[in-house]
Amino acid sequence: MLRKQCLWEIFFIAFGIAVAFMVSEASFRIYGAIKGVDFRLYSKELINSDRLPKGLFKTTESHRRVLNPGHQVLATTSDFSVLYSINQKGTRGPEYSYSRIRGKYRIVAMGDSFTFGEGIPYGSRFTDIVEKRIDHIEIVNMGVPGYGVDESLVLFSTEGIKYQPDEVMLFVSGASTERKNLPIVQSGEVDLENKFLEGNHISGARSIYLENSAPFYHQKSYWFSRHSQLWAYLNYVVQLQGLRSQFAKADESLWNAIRISRALKSTRLSEDDPSVQARTLALLKALRRICERKKIRLTIVNIDIENKLSYINQLEGLEFFDLSTLLTEESKKYSLQFVYDPHFNPKTQVFIGERLVGILRNR
């Protein structure tokens, strides 16, 4: 009799666990459907982890690299774990209609990975903070990792202009001005018709921390990670904790190598290199002409900690805001960047967002 009672207790416990799992699985799937998240990405990320995961970009027929419309990828490093969702129009964030909303002041934000918000969840980027603080402003963030001023110009002239913005804000740094990704500047003049030639694109630095050959992926339990969103997420969290130190060591090595490579190439020449200055000014003049023709306000914002890019002030007909001094002062209080990744961390995103709010409200 006692044995039978024990069997019934075991049955009810197992049944309860099964029901709890199914309810949790259903909850994950419902939440994922609402948020547009497939949690099986988390299990996939353990196998093939990139700082800029495969699927984030696509190459157009004209050989230009753009964000991949309708795709979702998970980026995991020792500094962050962030889901990047690209909408059908090829931007990260809500899919704004090309037509205007009455009563809204529309800004198109252009730039590289700092504008895109590398390592920052959607809703916490500096452009998102501005939208939250000022009700009548909407910002279409068109930042793309690895873009130079040249690619930002081409993207705005082909796609950004369709949003009929009141203003375009181009966020620049020494790195973005130095990149020559597209051969559209010839003899000091910008030839946008030449934009379709394949440029030099920056590839994502790999940060693999669990190889395909790892014993874990030969276990029968991995079947659940491929089919259950709940199991995939829980497995990701558990595995990640056990690999943190190994992962941190790999990221430290990765970014040290990148810094050494940049130092050897003397990439920080924006303040002194006449060719970089001339090319940047030519690109900004071309952007200014487009904005003047369409009656769009043009604002350039420098978010480089070291380079003031003061030569941009030579151009008339645009507003230039240099946040480098403010960022340098802020860096004395806390670290502006992630532990290893040099991109701005969430606290710095808030700081820049608040400065932008001040600029817009002071008008």
Condensed to tens digits (0 to 9), the pLDDT of residues 342-352 reads 999 999 999 99
Q: Which tokens go with 337?
A: 């960047």
Which residue has 């699927």 as its token pair? 55
Average predicted confidence (pLDDT) for the chain: 84
Which residues contact residue 152 at a Cβ distance below 8 angstroms, ignoring those fewer than 6 apart? 110, 111, 112, 142, 144, 170, 176
Res. 195: pLDDT tops 80: no
3-state secondary structure 276-327: HHHHHHHHHHHHHHHHHHHCCEEEEEECCCCCCCHHHHHCCCCEEEECHHHH
The CA distance from 72 to 55, in Å, is 8
Instruction: State which CATH number among 1.25.40.10, 3.30.1360.200, 2.170.190.11, 3.40.50.1110 fits the domain covering 99-201+268-361.
Output: 3.40.50.1110
The CA distance from 128 to 120, in Å, is 11
- Range picked from 15-19, 196-200, 208-212, 275-279 for highest mean pLDDT: 275-279
The CATH 3.40.50.1110 portion of the chain extends over 99-201+268-361
Tell me the sheet residues that pair with 58: 66
- Using alpha carbons, list the distances in angstroms from residue 25 to 37, 138, 242: 13, 36, 24
Residue closest to 282 by CA, chosen among 322, 314, 319: 314
Res. 214: pLDDT tops 60: no
Tell me the sheet residues that pair with 74: 83
Position with higher pLDDT, 39 vs 111: 111
Would you place residue 216 in the very low, low, confident or very high pLDDT band (cuts 50, 70, 90)?
very low
pTM of the model: 0.83
